Amino acid sequence: MIGYITEVALAIPFVGGLAALALNGRGKAAMWASAISLLIPLIIVPVAVLAYGSYYSPSIAMPGLGYFQLVLDGLNWPVALGIAVVTFLISIYSWPYMNVRFEELGRKSWGLYYFLYTYFSAGMLGIVLSNNFILFYIFLELSLITSFLLIALYGYGNRQRISFIYLIWTHLGGFMFLIGGFIYGFVLHTFNFIPVPPGISSLGYLIGPVVLLITLGLLIKMAVFGVHVWLPYAHAEAPTPVSALLSPAMIGIGGYAIIRIDYFLFRGLLLSYRPLLIALSVVTIIYGGLMALKENDFKRLLAYSSVAQMGYMLMGIATLTPLGIVGAILQFFAHAVGKSILFSSSGVLIAKNNNLRDINKMGGLAKSMPYTSALALLGFMDISGLPPTFGFFSKLFILIAVGEVLVGMGWGGIALLAFVLIGFGLTPAYSFVAMKRIFFGPQKLKAVEGDLMMLVPMAIIAAIMLIAFAFPGLLFNPLSAYVKQLVVMMV
C-alpha cells in the first residue's frame, strides 16, 4: 500500500463517486459517500509530503508515450492541498444548498450530482499529480465534462447555453494544449514533462510553436484578459458549490501547469516575453478589479474577482524568478480557500433568502447573518492580501518579485510598476465596498442565517487559512526548496 499512496488518493474518490450514484434515492448517504471518499486525499496529501518530501508512484510504461506516473512534490503539494481542502468541505456544504436547488428544479438526483461532483474533484487532483501530457489531458477532460454537466443540469439562467459556452472555451484551451503536447511528444519520443526529458533542444524551430500552443491553451484555462469572456457566465450561473470549485481551484490549475511545463522546460524562451506577460497580468488585474467594483450581482462580482486573482498568479509566473514562482503557487492556495468561502457566503444568501444575489437589495445583513458576514470578511481579506489571512504571503512575494524585475527594466518598468500598484489597490477597494454594501449600513431586509452544514465547512476552511498564516513554513518550505533545487539544475 505504501508504494501506491497517490493511487489510493485518486482511486477512493472514484469508488466514492460510484457509491454515491448507487445511493441515488438516499441523499444524505450519497453525500457522505462523496465526502468520506474526498477526505482520503485530504489526509494522504499532507502525510505523504511530511513523510517523504517528494513522492513518485510506481510508473506504468506506455510504448511511444513515455510512462504514466503520479507525482506529489514540493511544487504541486500546495495546489493538491488546496483542491483537497475545498472539495471535501464543499461536498458537505452542498447538501443543504442542493436541497433547495432540487426543490426549485422540481426533481432530485442526489446520486448523479454527487457522482459528477466527486469525479470533477478527483479529475482536478489527477491533473495536478500527472507527469505526462496524455495523462494530464485525460484528467483534464474528466474535469471539464463533469463540470459542464453540473452546470447544464443544475445551474441557473439559460444554463444549457452557458454550459456550452463554458465547454467550447475550455475545450479550445485544452485542444491547443494537446496539440502543443503532441508536437513535443512526437519529436522527443516521450510525453513526459516530469522529470524534464533530455534533449529538449532537439525541438529546434518547433520549440516556439510548442510553447505558444501550450501557453495560450493554459491562459484560456486561467481566463486572463482577452480570453476571459466565458468565466463570468459559467461561474456566476453554476450551482454555487460548483462555483466554489470552478473559480478558486479549476482555473488556477492552468497557472500551475504553466509553471510545471513552461517555466521548468522553456524558461529561456519565456524570458524574451516577460514584459508582455507582466503587462497582460496587470491588465487582467485592473480589468477584473474594475468590473468587480461596478458589479451588482454578488456571484458575478466574485467571478470577475477571480479574473483579477488569476492576474496575480500570472504576474508571479511572468517574473520568471524563484520568488515569483513561489508566490504564484501560494496564490493558488490562498485563492482556493478565500474564494471558496466567498462563494459559499453568496450561496447562503441564495439558498436561505429566496435567491438573493442583487447587492442593491442588500445592506445591514450582518445584524441577522453574523457568522456569514464574519466569514465573508475573512474571505475578502484573504483575496486582498491582508493579515492574518494566508493571502498576505502570496501577494507579498508576488509584489516583491515583480517590483525587482520592473525596477531593473528602467523607467519603462517603473511606469508599469505604478499600474501594478493601482491593480493591487483595486482588490481591497472592491472587496470592502462590497462588504459594506452587503453586510453593513442600513438594514434593508432581515435575512436568514445559514445552517450548521453550511457554516461549519466554511468555518473550517477559514480556520485552515488562518493556521496557514500562522505556520506558513508548512507550505512555503517544501515549495521554496523544490523551486531552488530545480533552478540550480536549470542553470
Mean pLDDT of 265-280: 91
Q: How many domains does the chain have?
A: 1
Q: How confident is the model at residue 491 (pLDDT cuts 50, 70, 90)?
A: very low
Q: How confident is the model at residue 399 (pLDDT cuts 50, 70, 90)?
A: very high
CA 343 – CA 329 distance, rounded (Å)? 21
For the chain, what percent of residues have pLDDT higher than 70?
98
- At residue 24, the pLDDT reads 82
Query: For 444-490, how does the pLDDT look when each residue is reduced to its tens digit (9 = 90+)?
Result: 888 999 999 999 999 999 999 999 999 998 898 888 888 877 665 55
- At residue 481, the pLDDT reads 82
- At residue 64, the pLDDT reads 81
- Domain hosting residue 56, numbered range: 2-490
Q: Look at residue 358 and give its three-state secondary structure.
A: strand
**Pick from 445, 448, 424: nearest CA to 359:** 445
Q: How confident is the model at residue 192 (pLDDT cuts 50, 70, 90)?
A: very high
Torsion sign, CA atoms 182, 273, 281, 387? positive
Q: How many CB atoms lie within 10 A of CB 134?
A: 17
Query: For 221-245, how does the pLDDT look when each residue is reduced to its tens digit (9 = 90+)?
Result: 999 998 898 999 898 899 999 999 9
Answer whether residue 251 shows pLDDT above 50.
yes
- At residue 1, the pLDDT reads 43
Looking at every residue in the chain, the average pLDDT score rounds to 92
For 69, phi and psi rounded to 5 degrees?
A: -155, 145
Q: Count Cβ atoms within 10 A of the Cβ of residue 42 and give its class: 0-12 exposed, 13-18 middle, 19 or more buried.
A: buried
Strand locations in 317-440 (E): none
For the chain, what percent of residues have pLDDT higher than 90?
76
Answer whether residue 137 shows pLDDT above 80.
yes
Answer whether residue 320 shows pLDDT above 70.
yes
- At residue 490, the pLDDT reads 55
**Length of the chain as a residue count:** 491
Q: Look at residue 70 and give its three-state secondary structure.
A: strand
